[in-house]
C-alpha cells in the first residue's frame, strides 16, 4: 500500500520551476533515498509532502490523503527533519520534549532519553545555543521519539560526526525494519544512503530521472573498464546506447553504463574499442551512479575528455514493489 503517492506534481517559485511533473509512489516499509544535485528540487518535494509548501499543480497524497488536507492525527504519524528547521530557539531540549510529547500518542519517552544520551545532548541547553550538528540531532530526536510511521528527512546527517551518523543509520534501519516505518531521505551522504535505502530516486532540475529499487540500480548501473592499446584513446563522438558517462585517461576508458546484460556490455565495448586488451565489468556504488547521472545532466561541468550526453535513464515511473 502506497504511503506516499505523488502524481504529476509541479511547484514553482515565481518563474523558477522547482518540480516538473514529478510522479512517484512509495509503499509502506520502504526506505527511499532521494538524490539529486543542489537545487534539483529534493527539499521542495519533501516540503510539499509535509505540507510546508503548496503544490502549484498536480497532487501529492500521504496516507492516502491529499497533503493539504492532512489532519493533526495524520501528522502525529509523521516525522520530519530538515536542515535549518526552526525549532523553538528559547526552549531547552527538555522543555521541547515536554512540549512535543503530549502531541503524539505514540511518543516514546524511553526512546527520547536513549537518543538524547546517544547523541550526547544536554537537556538543559536552549536550542539556540546548540551547534549545527547538535541542532540536527535535537531535530532528529524529536522526529524519532514519536515512532512515526512515515519519516521524512532532508539532509539529516548534516554536521554529524561519522560515529553518530553510523549509529543513526543503524538505528533508523533497525526501527524501520522492525516497526515497518516508511522513510524518505534526501541527502548527499551517499555512503549512508547506500546502506540505508532499498529504493532510490534521482531528481535533476526538478524532474525525476530515476525511480527504482536499489537492487535494480545496482544491477543496471555498472562500471565498464576498457584497457585499449591506444595510448590516447578517444571517446566515441556519438553516445553509444546504454552509456551514461565516460571518462578517459591515457589508454584506460571508464564507462558507467545502464545495462544489466554482461554480454551486451562486452559487445558494446568491443564495438567501440576493437583493439581493447581487456574489458572488465565492476559494480557501481550509489555514489558512482549519482555522480555519473549528475555529470551527464550537467555536461558543461564535465571534466572528462568529452561530455557524453548519455543515459537513457529510467525515465518511466515504476510502481514500488
Q: How far is the CB of 105 from other proteins (least distance, A)?
A: 9
Number of residues that bind other proteins (CB under 8 A): 29
Neighbours of 141 (CB within 10 A): 23
Dihedral sign for Cα atoms in the order 113, 114, 115, 118: positive
* 73 forms part of the interface with other proteins (CB under 8 A): yes
Whole-number minimum distance, CB 56 to other proteins, in Å?
11
Grid cell digits, residue 139: 531535530
Rounded to 5 degrees, φ, ψ at 163 are: -65, -45
CA distance 143 to 261: 42
Q: Does 76 bind other proteins (CB under 8 A)?
A: yes
Write down the least CB distance from residue 28 to other proteins, Å.
20
Task: Count other C-beta atoms under 10 Å from residue 173's C-beta.
Answer: 16
**In the window 99-118, what residues touch other proteins (CB under 8 A)?**
99-100, 102-104
- Identify which of residues 94 and 306 has a Cβ nearer to other proteins in the complex: 94
Nearest to 82 by CA among 187, 217, 193, 182: 187
Shortest CB 252 distance to other proteins, Å: 46
Residues of this chain, 9-48, that bind other proteins according to CB under 8 A: 47
Under the binding rule (CB under 8 A), the answer on residue 75 touching other proteins is: yes
User: What binding mask, one character per residue, do residues 126-165 give for other proteins by CB under 8 A, x or -?
Assistant: ----------------------------------------
Sites for other proteins among residues 80-99 (CB under 8 A):
80, 82, 84-91, 95, 99
CB-nearer residue toward other proteins: 104 or 272: 104
Contact at 8 Å (CB) between 202 and 290?
yes
Q: Give the separation between CA 112 and CA 232, rounded to whole angstroms.
A: 59
C-alpha cell at 79: 516525522
Complete DSSP assignment for 285-300: PHHHHHHHHHHHH-GG
Name the site residues for other proteins (rule: CB under 8 A). Answer: 47, 50-54, 71-76, 78, 80, 82, 84-91, 95, 99-100, 102-104
Amino acid at each position: 500500500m502506497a504511503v506516499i503517492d505523488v502524481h504529476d506534481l509541479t511547484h514553482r517559485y515565481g518563474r523558477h520551476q522547482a518540480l516538473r511533473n514529478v510522479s512517484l509512489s512509495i509503499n509502506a516499509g520502504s526506505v527511499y533515498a532521494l538524490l539529486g544535485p543542489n537545487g534539483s528540487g529534493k527539499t521542495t518535494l519533501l516540503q510539499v509532502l509535509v505540507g510546508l509548501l503548496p503544490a502549484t499543480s498536480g497532487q501529492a497524497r500521504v496516507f492516502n490523503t491529499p497533503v493539504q488536507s492532512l489532519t493533526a492525527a495524520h501528522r502525529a504519524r509523521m516525522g520530519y527533519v530538515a536542515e535549518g528547521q526552526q525549532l523553538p530557539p528559547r526552549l531547552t531540549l527538555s522543555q521541547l520534549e515536554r512540549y512535543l510529547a503530549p502531541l503524539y500518542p505514540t511518543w516514546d519517552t524511553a526512546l527520547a532519553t536513549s537518543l538524547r544520551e546517544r547523541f550526547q545532548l544536554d537537556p538543559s541547553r536552549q536550542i539556540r545555543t546548540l551547534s549545527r550538528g547538535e541542532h540536527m540531532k535535537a531535530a532528529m530526536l524529536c522526529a524519532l521519539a514519536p515512532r512515526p510511521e512515515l519519516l521524512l528527512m532532508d539532509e539529516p546527517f548534516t554536521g554529524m560526526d561519522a560515529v553518530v551518523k553510523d549509529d543513526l543509520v543503524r538505528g533508523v534501519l533497525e526501527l524501520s525494519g522492525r516497526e515497518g516505518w516508511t522513510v524518505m531521505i534526501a541527502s548527499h551522504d551517499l555512503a549512508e544512503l547506500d546502506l540505508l535505502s532499498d529504493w532510490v530516486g534521482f531528481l535533476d532540475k526538478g524532474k525525476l530521472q530515476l525511480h527504482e529499487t536499489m537492487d535494480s540500480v545496482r544491477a543496471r548501473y555498472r562500471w565498464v573498464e576498457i584497457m585499449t592499446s591506444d595510448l590516447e584513446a578517444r571517446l566515441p563522438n556519438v553516445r553509444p546506447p546504454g552509456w551514461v558517462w565516460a571518462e578517459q585517461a591515457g589508454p584506460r576508458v571508464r564507462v558507467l553504463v545502464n545495462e544489466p546484460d554482461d554480454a551486451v556490455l562486452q559487445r558494446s565495448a568491443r564495438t567501440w574499442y576493437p583493439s581493447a586488451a581487456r574489458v572488465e565489468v565492476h559494480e557501481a556504488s550509489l555514489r558512482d551512479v549519482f555522480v555519473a547521472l549528475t555529470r551527464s545532466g550537467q555536461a558543461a561541468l564535465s571534466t572528462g575528455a568529452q561530455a557524453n550526453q548519455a543515459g537513457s535513464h529510467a525515465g518511466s515511473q515504476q510502481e514500488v514493489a
